[in-house]
A = this chain, B = another copy of it.
Amino acid sequence: MQISARNRLKGTVIEVTKGATTAHVRIDIGGGSTVTASITNEAVDELDISVGKTAYAVVKASDVMVAVD
């Protein structure tokens, strides 16, 4: 499956914190950067997302803001 979302950053899952319904997944994308995703617990289970696995942080372009110093 190919998706229209413009941003796919490959990395390694370094933390999975499940809440009551919502989980936080942290992915190390290299170069000292990490990305945090807030997704459903259900998705964590279905995709079997766990620490040490390769994963992609996927973001639609319209959800990216730009900041400058």
- Chain A residues within 8 Å of B, Cβ to Cβ: 1-10, 17-25, 27, 29-31, 33, 35-40, 42-44, 46-49, 53-69
A68: which of B30, B53, B65 is its contact (CB, 8 Å)?
Answer: B53
Interface of A is mostly: strand
In the complex, which residue of chain B has the Cβ closest to the Cβ of A30? B31
Contact B66 A37 (CB under 8 A): yes
Residues of chain B with a CB closer than 8 A to A64's CB? 35-39, 57-59
Question: Which residues does chain B contribute within 8 Å of A36, judged by CB atoms?
Answer: 6-7, 40, 42, 61, 64
A10 nearest CB neighbor, chain B only = B33
Docked pose: A52 CA to B38 CA in angstroms = 27
